[in-house]
Structure 1
């Protein structure tokens, strides 16, 4: 029946079950999510403008942080506007073409955000390794040219990963209409395929091993960093101030992403819908909001610069 439906001229409509739980209190959910979105954008933009406007913050570590915040805005903006729009609707359905468009646009950007976040965190670990383990050679190794090259490569590498994955997905013929997510996630659509999905599974494993290798690089970097940090009080202070925020950010992002990936592939559809929703969006909500707060509180130069920037603004208004 489903095969004949997909081969017919009828317009296919997918049902997004993830939003069913929001129907009773959707206006409350709308206000809460809108506040989260505004706060996320505000926090990230504050750090970006602070780093861009303050010349003393034009060091590699802060430029990588600026890139992290910019990527957080991209990920949030790919998710929040769509979910805010969907919450106010009475029915949560999407056409086949609309779902493919969403994969191309929203999900393309979301997955780009995920891959770019992971790659940028790997680059930041390398930067901290050079800063603490090879402090005398830091400015020779981490030149501005190299910093911008690493940032560009992180974007290009992420774009390539997403493009291949989305290309594989849209080539699959589908035999189902029920998507148990808040949005048309890539793997949620792959599971509706009526043909063998070995290619998608293999590519998923390639991506897994690729990011696992990045995790190994981060682990090696921090093993060496901790060894050096234990030698003196000054190095321990430097570790706590510059490396601890990165570790918290990394752990938060990896755990959020791990739970989402594991649940999408192996989770049960019989569990609470609210729990499934939280696990599906945690990596899109928590890291972009938490990152600027963590770095803003822990990095003295940023904390002081943000304070000075707001003081100047209030002084001008007076």
Structure 2
């Protein structure tokens, strides 16, 4: 009886304490518990879901063939022009060496995008493991960084060739070319490694990426932990990787235009023949990246889904195909080599 009495007294005290807690405390505790559980569960989920894919049913096989053909043509054209430059000693000049780097980088970027894209087009679930997703983030962003740095170096090279033609070979030596190429790849690898590692360690509340490929900014938006350090590093990367190169490109082309305006007809023709492909490539790449930035930062729900998907993929799919066509047709030295390799017989 004594034990029963003690137990009843204890339960009554517990009941009284339990009843004195306000309903608001229960709601707060329940919400915090649910929020913590969601954060833990989504952080531990070993996959992301690419949520921008449409339910196109049997049309997915058509889109798969289109993407596969695009990948094959991209690889074929960039490999062809890389080999053309590599095996012809007459093309072992700074401008063509930088072009070689451009084509190799486009092979790198295309391989970072297309294999996973092709698998996802045929898939019904559109899930991708976290390590594989971050691998794609790394490859795609290294490609973007090297592409922009290389286009900046090419504008500097054209500036020296047109504005300082007599000193060009002493200013753009083989050692300097090698140093510039090594620097652009090293800075890109290290810079992308830092923000990829920072994004990987974030606590994520969700695992649905509103893209058809893995993108760093989209992953950061899934975080429920503090992203201040990511934002600061992103701002720093933008200044170093975008703002400073744009200033240099703008300066070099202003000087080139000044020389062309006051120079001879031959100077203007030389500038037009070598700068037009580079300027077209630069504008095409810039607009493509701009489309993706606008789509990531602003609400684009009013834009048709197919248009949004095309614009998000433009700088990754069209740029690697655009450059070989542009440089292959416009640069006479490359065009002449291609004519000797693939002679067209007139009947």
TM exceeding 0.5: yes
Out of 201, 221, 237, which is 1:191 matched to?
221
| 2:253 equivalent in structure 1 | 222
| 1:240 equivalent in structure 2 | 272
TM superposition shift of 1:91: 1.6
Quote the Cα distance in structure 1 between the aligned partners of 2:94 and 2:56.
Answer: 43
Quote the Cα distance in structure 2 between the aligned partners of 1:238 and 1:29.
Answer: 42
Whether the aligned pair in 2 keeps the contact of 1:129 and 1:225 (CA below 8 Å) is yes
| 2:26 equivalent in structure 1 | none
Q: 1:249 to 1:83 in 2, by over 3 A?
A: same
State which drifts further: 209-218 or 63-72. 209-218
RMSD, aligned α-carbons: 1.8
Quote the Cα distance in structure 1 between the aligned partners of 2:191 and 2:154.
Answer: 20
SS of aligned partner of 2:125: coil
Quote the Cα distance in structure 2 between the aligned partners of 1:149 and 1:290.
Answer: 27
Out of 304, 310, 315, which is 2:336 matched to?
304
Give yes or no for the alignment of 1:172 onto 2:202.
yes
Q: 1:24 to 1:267 in 2, by over 3 A?
A: farther
Quote the Cα distance in structure 1 between the aligned partners of 2:57 and 2:141.
Answer: 27
Whether the aligned pair in 2 keeps the contact of 1:21 and 1:273 (CA below 8 Å) is no
Whether the aligned pair in 1 keeps the contact of 2:48 and 2:133 (CA below 8 Å) is no
1:7-26 alignment runs, 5 A limit? 7-8=40-41, 11=45, 13-26=47-60
SS of aligned partner of 1:196: coil
Whether the aligned pair in 1 keeps the contact of 2:39 and 2:224 (CA below 8 Å) is no
Q: 1:158 to 1:8 in 2, by over 3 A?
A: closer
TM-score w.r.t. length of structure 1: 0.92
State which drifts further: 60-69 or 17-26. 17-26
Give yes or no for the alignment of 1:250 onto 2:282.
yes
State which drifts further: 257-266 or 70-79. 257-266
| 1:268 equivalent in structure 2 | 300
> Structure 2 regions of 5+ residues with no counterpart?
1-33
State which drifts further: 20-29 or 121-130. 20-29
1:104-123 alignment runs, 5 A limit? 105-123=135-153
SS of aligned partner of 2:49: strand
Out of 231, 234, 239, which is 1:201 matched to?
231
SS of aligned partner of 2:48: strand
| 1:140 equivalent in structure 2 | 170
Quote the Cα distance in structure 1 between the aligned partners of 2:237 and 2:333.
Answer: 36
Name segments (4+ residues, structure 1) moved above 6 Å. none
Quote the Cα distance in structure 2 between the aligned partners of 1:168 and 1:67.
Answer: 28
Whether the aligned pair in 2 keeps the contact of 1:122 and 1:218 (CA below 8 Å) is yes
Whether the aligned pair in 2 keeps the contact of 1:43 and 1:289 (CA below 8 Å) is yes
Aligned residues: 309
Q: 1:75 to 1:2 in 2, by over 3 A?
A: farther
Out of 59, 68, 81, which is 1:34 matched to?
68
State which drifts further: 195-204 or 114-123. 195-204
1:158-192 deviation per Cα after TM superposition (whole angstroms, max 9, x unaligned): 11210111011011100012211012211111101
Out of 122, 128, 131, which is 1:88 matched to?
122
| 1:43 equivalent in structure 2 | 77
| 1:5 equivalent in structure 2 | 38
TM superposition shift of 1:81: 1.0
Q: 1:197 to 1:269 in 2, by over 3 A?
A: farther
Give yes or no for the alignment of 1:66 onto 2:97.
no
TM superposition shift of 1:269: 4.2
